[in-house]
Structure 1
Amino acid sequence: MGQDRTAVREQAETVLRRLAGEHARLRDDQWRAIEALVVDRRRVLCVQRTGWGKSAVYFVATALLRALGTQGPTVIVSPLLALMRNQVEAAARAGIRARTINSANLDEWDEVTGEIHAGAVDVLLISPERLNNPDFRDTVLPKLAATTGLLVVDEAHCVSDWGHDFRPDYRRLRTFLGNLSAGTPVLATTATANARVTQDVAEQLGAASRLGAGPEALVLRGSLDRESLRLGVVDLPGPAYRLAWLADHLDELPGSGIIYTLTVAAAAEITEFLRSRGYTVASYTGQADDADRRAAEQDLLDNKIKALVATSALGMGFDKPDLGFVVHLGAPPSPIAYYQQVGRAGRAVAHAEVLLLPGGAEDAAIWRYFAALAFPPEDQVRSVLAALHTDRPLSTPALEPIVDLRRTRLELMLKVLDVDGAVRRVRGGWISTGEPWIYDEARLRRVAAARTAEQAAMREYATTSACRLRYLRECLDDAGATDCGRCDRCAAPTFTEELSDGALRAAEAFLGRSGVGISPKKLWPTGLAAVGVPLKGRIALPEQALPGRAVGRLSDLGWGGRLRELVGPDTADVDAPDDVVAAVVEVLREWAHGTDPWPRRPVGVVAVGSRHTRLVASLAGRIAAVGRMPLLGTVMVSAAGGPRGNSAQRVRALHGSVALPSELVGALAGLSGPVLLVDNLVDSGWTMTMVTRELRRAGAPEVLPLALAVAG
């Protein structure tokens, strides 16, 4: 390029001081990355620990490239809104004009697009999903790719399906890379990549680089040591003990921090309990409104709360340099994911506490649930591909009656097929490209085996007698890993398993509460006519159920484990245990006299014949006895298959399979009040809905659903 490298470094140091303060200086590898991007126009992969300063590299490089006057905007592909907001603010400090296009600013898209075309944007932050939005892909992306001055792929481990957080949308970057002008520099960054993931990402960058006849990607991998972190494990016998421990020790943790959980339900429970014990905490999950997430983030940044109780939705990108602690109630499924989350702490403080309170069998059950969402078997994939060989696009809901996959899993599969070039997303849904596609079963097996090994490694982390930080670094293939001298294995533990009787009693009482709502279905799934089921639109009001109740969720910290023992797919069919019957009676008592009571008292009980017929029948009988109501009978459901399919498939299987015995039909005639319909588990909710429809058509005035558990 003919540029004076010394002069470029001086300019880079000047920009860094604007960004990070007068005393800031570039690290050697930071300069090597900037030099490769700005002077040599190379492709660079930075694998560096959280807090090392990866964002400084791309902001400084952006400022230098923009100063040359011929470069278009830097495009940063970021996975999370939290990350985008932090980066827009950081860019402003360096005098860099940054804008974002994401799901939370729909009303600004036209304005931002106009600014891009006018050259008024230095940095554009987009989500990987935006790369395949039909309007953005077809109208904005081609010009953007042709004029991009620098492409940044943040959290680049998401590109690799070997990574702990693989996201198919990231694979669409290959198309973007291929459309870049020759010599456009590319920076990929991550803090959590082992050797296999590093190689995979570098090869993808390098393959794209070879298309432009450029050099191989430059990999800059640094030490993953975190001198400020003090790691420990507090092993406690159950959820109540873990909540009690938090209630007793949260004030002892320095500053403010994050409490990670594995499920949305657990985040809500922990938040509620800690508030009841006088702590200022807030929850943060992917199901919360964007405005609520923004408010929670800001409260933590401003130290207005002691902790943010979060799922992995806060796993990447949240930047609070003085975060004092990270506590996990339940272990993530891999040491790599764990290292990524604990890396949020201790970035600008002398020390931060990192504690794991593992859940043992409870954690493993949640890992199994998420593992079940893996890529589907080949026959299901082929059926979708065959269905898309039509002259018009099919939406995801229209595909559901064709393949027995839940919506999230079907959408994930379609994204992978899109990335592989077998299907294409267009206005109105999906179409087949007609391109040949190979089901790579061997690779899927290897990835599944890698996930199993990661789970075993996470269990070993909790029990290892060796240095905990060294263990994590070695899991990420950090060649320079040594004992840290600070963790609870290298030094005396900072925190013990001690907790007070009062906190434990409060936690047991809190988790012992029972009762969650069951919302009735009001709409039939889309596309049932295509599979011969004559149901569509709204469910007729005279065929609907009333709102119902269940003892708890399978993911609850309190009742979850007990309910999984009873209604899990591989559990024995037994009589309803006394403690569970007592919980059901308490749910009924609250339902009758609480703040949102049933409209009328039930006058009879009906059981649903399920995979746990004995359990449900015995429960229904005892409810009838306690409530002094007649047990009207059992409705047998002959639908094949389990409850985990999508809604359309479940309704198709259930349609015509619900049999009401003649004596039950006779008992329904002349009833003066609702029927209490008892089942073991409400998952998709369609068994209750279809049985309710038949009961009401046979004469039941109203139906009140009651279940032991709801999924989720």
Structure 2
Amino acid sequence: MATREHAQSILEQLAGPTATLRDDQWSAIEALVVQRRQALVVQRTGWGKSAVYFIAAKLLRSAGLGPTVIVSPLLALMRNQVAAAERAGVRAATINSGNVTEWDAIHQQVADGGLDVLLVSPERLNNPDFRDNVLPALASDAGLVVVDEAHCVSDWGHDFRPDYRRIRTLISELGSNIPVLATTATANDRVVTDVAAQLGVGGRDTLVLRGGLDRESLRLSVVKAGNPAQRSAWLAAQLDSLPGSGIIYTLTVAQANDVAALLAEQGHKVAAYTGSTDTTEREQLESDLLGNRVKALVETSALGMGFDKPDLGFVVHLGAPSSPIAYYQQVGRAGRATDSAEVILLPGTEDQDVWRYFASVAFPSETLVRSVLHALDTDRPQSTPALESQVDLNRSRLEMVLKVLDVDGAVRRVKGGWVATGEPWTYDEERYRALDAARRREQQAMLDYQNTDGCRMAFLRGQLDDPELAPGDRCGRCDNCTGARYQGAVDEATLAATVERLQRPGVEVAPRKQWPTGLAALGLEWSGRITDGAAPGRAIGRLTDLGWGARLRKLLAEPDREVPDDIVQAAIAVLKAWNWSTRPVAVIGLDSQTHPLLISSTVQRLAQVGRLADLGTLRYRPDRRPVTAANSAYRVAALNGSWECPDLDVHGPVLLVDDMTDTGWTLTMAARQLRRAGVPEVLPLVLASTS
């Protein structure tokens, strides 16, 4: 029988000879290994939740039982966990999007009994081959099933991941004697209740271990340093004074790249780490942070959850996450094995714009969801790209809808795509309204955190319903408790250098290179590579830029007016830096319903300054179709033939001016029409890009 002494010895292999098994850790291990019960462990970051399941896995394997299956959400977390398992002599492997070439070999290791632990991404659970050929054997033979970061299961948590909801199906198919462990650090009462319901974990025989969430090493501060340029300058000035190495969070990928470039130009060893970073590069960046070869990684939420660097010295947020739950989870990366770590929030008024954007692309309306169901057959699979041509949803939202419908039993993923099951399905309007209301409450709580004059750690613990929080508790470490505050001002030289860098206009606008799939279903016979579209273009800046973003957002939100001088000067600077092979000979504007004067005046000013032929405006046809679609195929179909374009007698490239680009299809289709009218090359120049 497994003993506490045996568990202690495995812990020492995992964490070193000075590690001591906590009483609650042993209680969880004993419940799983000896009593074969279910357990729900809600404990603060750094408490040792991963030690519970690795020790349990080793003990169960020693007793001749099957491998432990860990459902884990992020690649960085998986890599950390595999390394930790190896230290304790646990044979572990992972199946995720980053190691596709290894899947077959790992499946064979599972079949041969050569693994102690298999880490699986939740998305992998519904891969048809894995679901039908690998998962049944695991469900019948597993020694233990672990759901890590289990708050992702909950609709009330800080993330909506339909793949996580599918885990309940896996658990329902387990043998009655296979224990289940769910772990998380970021869950309030509402989330704990929902996780228990979603997973079927929480009945009479479930051990619930819920501890206090105070983090004694964290010093929480809020610094109101002004606009994006001022906050970036503050960070550049303060970064070297922060302890050790750390993480700088931003709200968007564009901001992460911009901040990393800004700090690197000023001599700081930093790098951007986002969801678009290549897998191999991610591994190297993680290694650099672990080895203190960089001062910081500037990232979105791609790294944070579960990344284990015990001596991480600081976490800085340039912009606030939309909920205290998300914020607590992210700052929990710092100070896990240090006496003190700095946690600094630099909020901005534009944060709420980002929150509203992400809320706007949440689960779509019932009409759109029903259109997906109507497009599916019960026997003929259709791929996601094929479905795109039949419904007005872009790829990411369509995939989310399909996953939710799959979890709800209305569709099924099979080889070749998706099929309808024919089962009745009800749009859960009440649930989605409640989710939206919960998000708004959490956003307000995040604003309240910024403005409170009380203890900041106590505020976060209260938002997470910490059972050990007593009335009047104060951490004694945060800026409000100690009165020791960072000053938000920066010296003029640092601010000037930062402003100059951020206000340097010009970002590339990559052209669309491939036609979207499914155009034939809409009566268009185009496919493959686009040969008559736009050349690579330029934008003055992104709407999310730290330097130009605020000015561009303000310009586009204002009533239509003539182009301001600073925008003209920025456009001229962009044109001067544009190393085209042949100088443009003319300029033309794109018709606009919202900013016709802005565009026409921009065309006139650029024509005068650059001595270019002024071709006026490419006008919309009176009978054109309105472009309301988010889906690429639908947008192309609506834009096809939208403009009145007489033959143009020009003998060189033409600048095509527009106010904003998002998907790139308007520029592509307008350029195509200009090319057909005799323009040899079209160079898009837009005021703002959304990405």
Q: Are residues 1:78 and 2:72 paired?
A: yes
Q: Percent identity?
A: 62
- 1:594 maps to none
Superposed displacement of residue 401, structure 1: 2.0
Residue of structure 1 equivalent to 2:169: 175
Aligned equivalents of 2:82, 2:514: Cα separation in 1? 41
CA distance in 1, matches of 2:506, 2:124: 40
Structure 1 residue aligned with 2:118: 124
Asked if 2 retains the 8 angstrom alpha-carbon contact of 1:193 and 1:476, the reply is yes
Task: For 1:352, give the aligned amino acid.
Answer: A
The within-5 A match list for 1:307-346 is: 307-346=296-335
Contact 2:627 2:639 in 1 (8 A): no
Pick from 677, 681, 684 the counterpart of residue 702 of structure 1: 681
For the Cα contact (< 8 Å) 1:533–1:655, is it kept in 2? no
Whole-Å separation in 2 of the counterparts to 1:52 and 1:579: 53
Q: CA deviation at 1:204?
A: 2.6
How many residues are treated as equivalent by the alignment? 685
| CA 1:39–1:479: 2 relative to 1, 3 Å | same
Q: Does 1:270 find its partner at 2:259? A: yes
What is the CA-CA distance between 1:495 and the residue it aligns to? 2.0
User: What does 1:240-389 correspond to in 2, within 5 Å?
Assistant: 240-360=229-349, 362-389=350-377
CA RMSD of aligned residues (A): 1.5
Q: Return the letter of the residue paired with 1:382.
A: R
Q: Does structure 2 retain, via aligned residues, the 8 Å contact 1:43–1:205? A: no
Match of 2:25 in 1: 30
Among 452, 460, 472, the residue aligned to 1:464: 452
Residue of structure 2 equivalent to 1:484: 475
After superposition, what is the alpha-carbon deviation per residue over 1:536-592, rounded to whole angstroms, capped at 9, x for unaligned?
2332x3x22221111011111111111112235xx422221111111111111111x
CA distance in 1, matches of 2:192, 2:312: 28
Please state whether the residue corresponding to 1:104 is helix, strand or coil: helix
Of the structure 1 ranges 675-684 and 402-411, higher mean CA displacement relative to structure 2 is found in: 402-411
Pair 1:636-2:619 in alignment? yes
- What's the secondary structure of 2:258's corresponding residue? helix
Structure 1 position 658, deviation (Å): 2.2
- For the pair 1:575 / 2:558, whether they are aligned, the reply is no
Instruction: Tell me what 2:145 maps to.
Output: 151
Query: What is the match of residue 557 of structure 1?
Result: 546
Q: Trace 1:305-704 onto structure 2 (pairs within 5 A).
A: 305-360=294-349, 362-389=350-377, 391-481=379-469, 482-539=473-530, 541=531, 543-568=532-557, 571-591=558-578, 597-610=579-592, 611-637=594-620, 645-660=630-645, 665-666=646-647, 668-669=648-649, 671-704=650-683
Classify the secondary structure of the residue corresponding to 1:76.
Answer: strand
CA distance in 1, matches of 2:150, 2:303: 17
Give the superposition deviation at 1:494: 4.3
Give the aligned partner of residue 111 of structure 1: 105
The separation in 1 between residues aligned to 2:209 and 2:546, in whole angstroms, is 42
Structure 1 CA distance for aligned equivalents of residues 3 and 367 of structure 2: 56
Give me the whole-angstrom Cα distance separating, in 2, the residues matched to 1:116 and 1:347. Answer: 34
Name the amino acid aligned to 2:681: E
1:281-311 per-position Cα deviation (integer Å, ceiling 9, x unaligned): 1211110111111111111111111111111
Letter in 2 for 1:506: A
Distance 1:612 1:431 in 2: 44
Deviation at 1:479, TM superposition (A): 3.3
Task: Output the amino acid matched with 2:639.
Answer: L
SS in 2 for 1:490: helix
Q: Which runs of 4+ in 1 moved over 3 A?
A: 637-644
In structure 2, C-alpha distance between the alignment counterparts of 1:469 and 1:624, rounded to whole Å: 58
**Paired letter, 1:199:** T
1:362-391 CA-to-partner distances (Å, cap 9, x unmatched) read 111111121121001011110110000264
| Matched AA of 2:527 | K
For residue 642 of structure 1, report the CA deviation from its aligned partner: 5.5
Amino acid at match of 2:50: S
Amino acid at match of 1:337: A
Following TM superposition, by how much is the alpha carbon of 1:428 offset from its aligned partner in structure 2, in angstroms?
1.7
Aligned match of 1:196 in 181, 190, 201?
190
**CA–CA distance in structure 2, aligned partners of residues 251 and 266 of structure 1:** 20
Following TM superposition, by how much is the alpha carbon of 1:237 offset from its aligned partner in structure 2, in angstroms? 1.2
* TM-superposition CA deviations, 1:386-406 (whole Å, max 9, x none): 000264211111112222212
2:225 touches 2:489 (CA, 8 Å); kept in 1? no
Query: Are 2:211 and 2:468, in contact at CA under 8 Å, matched by a contact in 1?
Result: no
Query: How far apart, in 2, do the equivalents of 1:575 and 1:438 lie?
Result: 50
Distance 2:527 2:100 in 1: 31
SS in 2 for 1:489: helix
- Shift in CA distance, 231/641, structure 1 to aligned 2, threshold 3 Å: farther
Amino acid at match of 1:526: T
Kept after mapping to 2: 8 A contact 1:674/1:703: yes
Contact 2:167 2:199 in 1 (8 A): no
Amino acid at match of 1:227: E
Q: Which moved more, 1:181-190 or 1:631-640?
A: 631-640
Whether the 8 Å CA contact 2:533–2:668 is kept in 1: the answer is yes
Whether the 8 Å contact between 1:644 and 1:683 is mirrored in structure 2 is: no
Deviation per CA, 1:19-66: give whole Å up to 9, x if none.
222332222221221111112211111111000000011011111111
Paired residue type of 2:189 = A
Question: Which amino acid in structure 2 is aligned with residue 528 of structure 1?
Answer: L
Equivalent in the alignment of 2:6: 11
* Equivalent residues of 1:78, 1:125 under 8 A apart: yes
Residues 205 and 217, structure 1, Cα contact 8 Å, conserved in 2? no
Residue type of the partner of 1:163? G
Equivalents in 1 of 2:417, 2:307: separation in Å?
33
Q: Secondary structure at the match of 1:331?
A: coil
Q: CA deviation at 1:471?
A: 0.7
- Paired amino acid for 1:654: L
Q: Report the Cα distance in structure 1 between the residues aligned to 2:16 and 2:567, rounded to whole angstroms.
A: 61
CA distance in 2 between counterparts of 1:574 and 1:431 reads 51
2 CA distance for matches of 1:553 and 1:640? 28
- Between the aligned partners of 2:127 and 2:510, the Cα distance in structure 1 is 32
| C-alpha deviation, 1:477, in angstroms | 1.1
**Separation (CA, whole Å) in 1 of partners of 2:599 and 2:389:** 29
Task: State the secondary structure of the residue aligned to 2:131.
Answer: helix
| 1:21 maps to 2:8 | no
Distance 2:619 2:3 in 1: 77
Determine helix, strand or coil for the equivalent of 1:623.
Answer: helix
